[in-house]
């Protein structure tokens, strides 16, 4: 067993397991199991607007205003979150229960770091991104 097998100091707050692969060999390096707690962005209700070409439904993009499922304890663990949650924490310097989240916030690299199957579906990542210091 290696440290990669036993180290669970990063809590996965996404609804699914995150698989990290070696870019060159395509071998699985680490799976971060879903913790059962999901951190999500809460948003205002989505409003409809005029359909495009009279048939294609169009909605205004939602405004995200708060997070649910973020750990609140003083010794918060490092977390693995979705890109919208990571961006909200980074860009808005979000506060939760009166204090800023103080753990390290990671997310799967689903841009250039996405590992896709032959149908183009993401099956994992070649690395993580960090949203906090």
18-37: per-residue pLDDT in tens?
999 999 999 999 999 999 99
Closest CA to 100 of 57, 64, 132: 132
Closest CA to 12 of 79, 84, 90: 79
Q: What is the dihedral of CA 63, 91, 32, 39, to 10 degrees?
A: -40
Residue given tokens 């439904």 in the structure block: 57
The residues that bridge with 49 in the sheet, in sequence order, are 58
Whole-number mean pLDDT of the chain? Answer: 85
* Global confidence as pTM: 0.80
Residue 55, CA atoms < 13 Å, CB-side half-sphere: 0
pLDDT beyond 50 at 12: yes
Q: What is the pLDDT of residue 8?
A: 62
In this structure, the number of other CB atoms found within 10 A of the CB of residue 23 comes to 11
Residue 81, CA atoms < 13 Å, CB-side half-sphere: 27
């Amino acid at each position: 067993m290696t440290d990669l097998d036993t180290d669970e100091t990063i809590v996965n707050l996404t609804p699914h397991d995150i698989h990290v692969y070696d870019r060159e060999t395509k071998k699985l390096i680490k799976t971060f199991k879903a913790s059962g707690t999901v951190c999500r962005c809460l948003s205002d209700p989505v409003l409809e607007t005029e359909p495009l070409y009279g048939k294609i439904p169009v909605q205004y993009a939602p405004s995200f205003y708060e997070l649910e499922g973020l750990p609140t304890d003083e010794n918060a663990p490092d977390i693995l979150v979705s890109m919208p949650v990571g961006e909200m924490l980074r860009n808005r310097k979000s506060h939760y229960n009166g204090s800023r989240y103080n753990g390290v916030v990671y997310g799967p690299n689903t841009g250039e770091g996405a590992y896709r199957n032959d149908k183009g579906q993401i099956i994992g990542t070649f690395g993580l991104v960090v949203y906090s210091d």
